[in-house]
Amino acid sequence: MKYKSLIGIMLFASVMQGKDIKTHESGTLLQMESVQCGFDENSGKSITGELLGTDSAHKKTHALLCQEYVVQSEKITYRIRPRDEKHPALLPVGERAQFRMDKDKMKLRVEDMDDKEREYQVVSMKPRSDAGTK
């Protein structure tokens, strides 16, 4: 009986030890820019115009803008964009944020805002030139 409980405890401990603990890094939201991220086309055709043949094939095109943030951590400067393009949250520039990398995306949260973790696409990463001086 003692051996069964000892084996059970050892198996439980080995499983718990193998689980990765997700740690967050800390960084500062330095700036937000609106960058061009695509185009939207409107053909200008209507149903009545199609039926009567009065609409021309004139297309209206305008550029779509996306929010792009600069997040500076201790060693790396990241440029990120929200993955939810329809309802992006406006982040407070100049505030501290916690983030972690999950495969190909960054999961970021701002404590002073609502402490909700949001997904961002990493556009670029650049090592800080002043990171070695600290």
Alpha carbons 22 and 101: distance in angstroms, whole number? 9
| Token code pair at residue 26 | 């800390």
Asked whether residue 1 carries a pLDDT value surpassing 60, the answer given is no
pLDDT at position 73: 94
Asked whether residue 3 carries a pLDDT value surpassing 80, the answer given is no
pLDDT at position 54: 59
Of residues 27 and 10, the one with the higher pLDDT is 27
Nearest of 122, 119, 71, 120 to residue 93 by alpha carbon: 71
pLDDT at position 8: 59
Model pLDDT for residues 42-72, shown as the tens digit of each residue: 765 666 666 666 555 667 777 888 899 999 9
How high does pLDDT run on average in the chain? 80
